[in-house]
């Protein structure tokens, strides 16, 4: 049997059409969109079972933010397994790293779940009201296993994408969206209260998806991971995987901390209250558009990692079309009444905040577009196993974003949201230009 991880595998069929690429990409885009929508579904269901949802909503939001920060090191395991797993030997080697990383992240959340430690965040860092802080502390234990489920799931999802079975990834994600409301109602039925209901639902739906991915992976890839003796099926040490993975994951840590950093600056800028109210929906729309780039990246890596010249042209054509289509859609949304309608009617912002949000999104509209370009450059570098430049790109993005926030939010006399979105776009643009410079040799070699 021919290995699915060799250049003659089904995913690298002799003629790679645009239709085939779209068919592989769409399930991954659905997966990312479901991830961005899951918390909204949980909150909507919590509103049905919690008499006064204000405090539970706040507590769940803060508990989720804390858990997400400590869970962030496992997010890029999908990319790591997609690139590094070439057969049974490398599957075990990368799998050991994935499991260890996930366990360490769960250990960090377990430490925060200890009331004395958790109070350092709720009472010290966030200075929360006592009723909200109590619910955050109560919610954290339910999230201890969340990084393990996420890490194992994303590791296995990477192997499925590598084998051309991205449809199974999307199928499991749809099941997760169904499991989330069931988790809310189950938590209420067994007597869990407050923000802990949301934490239980999130952890249980992710665990259900992880279990589904485990069984589907065993079924889909049984005896198809590759042949022993494949020269690229390497027995990586933990150190080798870490050197590849740590720079790769640094970009995620910055993305997850950007919202908190911007919120802190907005509190000191002009029109601080309207800006703070408008920023979450503006940022959420940007994340929605970013789901396109994050999902495409895995398809690029799965095809390009074998360095087959025959696939580079169709993959690059798909990228070129995608980037101009996304730019057109972004500009059409940002520069027409569509954004005014969305922020005024869909998000529930008042007219002043909706106008602020629409203008702010227009100033930062290139941020999701730069993310699409960034994902292409990152895929090219991952193909060559050159992740070091990503750490430098993270530093560049942080420096430019921070400098922009200082000048454009604190010094320029306009609403803080405008400066924040412009800074976000400038930082990601600078990082994208740097990666493009680093990836130029790879592009030339494949072209």
Task: Provide mean pLDDT across the span 81-109.
Answer: 93
Per-residue confidence band for 379, with pLDDT thresholds at 50, 70 and 90: very high
151 pLDDT above the threshold of 60 = yes
Query: Which of 217, 236, 255 is the endpoint of a domain?
Result: 236
7 pLDDT above the threshold of 50 = no
Backbone φ and ψ for 237, nearest 5 degrees, come out as -80, 165
Clarify whether residues 185 and 266 are in a common domain: no
pTM here is: 0.84
Query: Which of 212, 236, 260 is the endpoint of a domain?
Result: 236
pLDDT in tens, 361-372: 999 999 999 999
Q: Given this model, what pLDDT does residue 329 score?
A: 93
Per-residue confidence band for 68, with pLDDT thresholds at 50, 70 and 90: confident
227 pLDDT above the threshold of 90 = no
Clarify whether residues 181 and 290 are in a common domain: no
Number of structural domains, the chain? 2
What is the SS3 assignment for 306? coil
Sequence-ordered list of residues with C-beta below 8 angstroms from that of 110, at least 6 positions apart, any chain: 144
Clarify whether residues 201 and 315 are in a common domain: no
Phi-psi region of 380 (alpha: psi -120 to 50; beta: other; left: phi over 0): alpha
Q: Which residue has the higher pLDDT, 10 or 138?
A: 138
Clarify whether residues 96 and 211 are in a common domain: yes
10 pLDDT above the threshold of 70 = no
Residue 317: name the closest of 8, 7, 21, 11 by CA: 21
Clarify whether residues 392 and 262 are in a common domain: yes
What is the SS3 assignment for 86? coil
Distance CA 223, CA 88 (A): 9
Clarify whether residues 210 and 317 are in a common domain: no
Per-residue confidence band for 13, with pLDDT thresholds at 50, 70 and 90: very low
Clarify whether residues 253 and 166 are in a common domain: no
pLDDT in tens, 177-193: 889 999 999 999 999 99
Distance CA 216, CA 69 (A): 29
* Rounded (10°) CA dihedral 268, 279, 65, 159: -140
Q: Given this model, what pLDDT does residue 1 score?
A: 28
Q: Given this model, what pLDDT does residue 348 score?
A: 67
Clarify whether residues 219 and 263 are in a common domain: no
Whether the Cβ atoms of residue 35 and residue 28 lie closer than 8 Å to each other = no
Query: Which of 236, 257, 280 is the endpoint of a domain?
Result: 236
Q: The domain containing residue 271 runs over which residues?
A: 245-447
Distance CA 309, CA 296 (A): 19
pLDDT in tens, 326-376: 999 999 999 999 998 988 887 667 788 889 989 999 999 999 999 999 999
Per-residue confidence band for 239, with pLDDT thresholds at 50, 70 and 90: very high
Mean residue pLDDT across the chain: 86
Clarify whether residues 351 and 398 are in a common domain: yes
Q: Which residue has the higher pLDDT, 58 or 28?
A: 28
Clarify whether residues 158 and 28 are in a common domain: yes
Clarify whether residues 220 and 333 are in a common domain: no
Q: Given this model, what pLDDT does residue 299 score?
A: 92
Clarify whether residues 202 and 259 are in a common domain: no
């Amino acid at each position: 049997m021919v290995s699915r991880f060799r250049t003659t595998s089904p995913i690298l069929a002799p003629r790679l059409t645009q239709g085939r690429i779209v068919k592989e990409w769409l399930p991954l885009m659905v997966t990312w969109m479901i991830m961005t929508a899951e918390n909204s579904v949980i909150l909507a269901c919590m509103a049905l079972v919690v008499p006064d949802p204000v405090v539970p909503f706040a507590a769940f939001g803060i508990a989720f933010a804390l858990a997400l920060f400590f869970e962030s090191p496992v997010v890029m395991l999908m990319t790591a397994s997609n690139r590094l797993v070439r057969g049974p030997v490398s599957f075990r080697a990368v799998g050991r790293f994935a499991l260890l990383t996930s366990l360490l992240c769960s250990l960090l959340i377990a430490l925060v779940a200890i009331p004395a430690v958790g109070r350092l965040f709720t009472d010290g860092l966030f200075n929360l009201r006592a009723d909200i802080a109590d619910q955050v502390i109560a919610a954290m234990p339910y999230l201890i296993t969340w990084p393990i489920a996420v890490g194992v799931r994303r590791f296995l999802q990477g192997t499925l994408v590598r084998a051309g079975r991205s449809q199974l990834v999307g199928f499991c994600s749809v099941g997760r969206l169904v499991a989330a409301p069931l988790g809310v109602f189950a938590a209420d039925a067994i007597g869990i209260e407050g923000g802990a209901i949301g934490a239980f639902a999130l952890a249980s739906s992710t665990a259900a998806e992880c279990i589904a991915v485990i069984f589907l992976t065993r079924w889909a890839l049984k005896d198809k991971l590759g042949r022993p003796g494949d020269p690229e099926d390497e027995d990586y040490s933990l150190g080798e995987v870490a050197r590849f993975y740590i720079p790769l994951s640094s970009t995620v840590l910055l993305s997850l901390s950007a919202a908190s950093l911007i919120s802190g600056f907005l509190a000191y800028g002009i029109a601080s209250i309207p800006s703070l109210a408008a920023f979450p929906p503006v940022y959420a729309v940007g994340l929605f558009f970013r789901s396109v780039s994050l999902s495409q990246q895995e398809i690029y890596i799965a095809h390009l990692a074998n360095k087959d010249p025959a696939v580079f042209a169709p993959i690059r054509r798909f990228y070129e079309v995608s980037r101009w289509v996304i730019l057109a859609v972004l500009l059409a949304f940002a520069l027409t009444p569509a954004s005014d309608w969305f922020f005024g009617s869909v998000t529930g912002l008042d007219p002043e905040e909706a106008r602020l949000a629409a203008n702010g999104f227009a100033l930062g509209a290139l941020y999701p577009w730069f993310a699409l370009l960034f994902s292409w450059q990152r895929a090219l570098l991952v193909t060559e196993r050159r992740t070091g430049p990503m750490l430098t790109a993270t530093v560049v993005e942080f420096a430019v974003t921070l400098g922009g926030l200082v000048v454009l939010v604190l010094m320029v006399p306009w609403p803080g949201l405008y400066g924040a979105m412009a800074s976000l776009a400038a930082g990601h643009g600078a990082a994208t230009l740097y990666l493009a410079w680093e990836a130029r040799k790879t592009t030339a070699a494949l072209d």
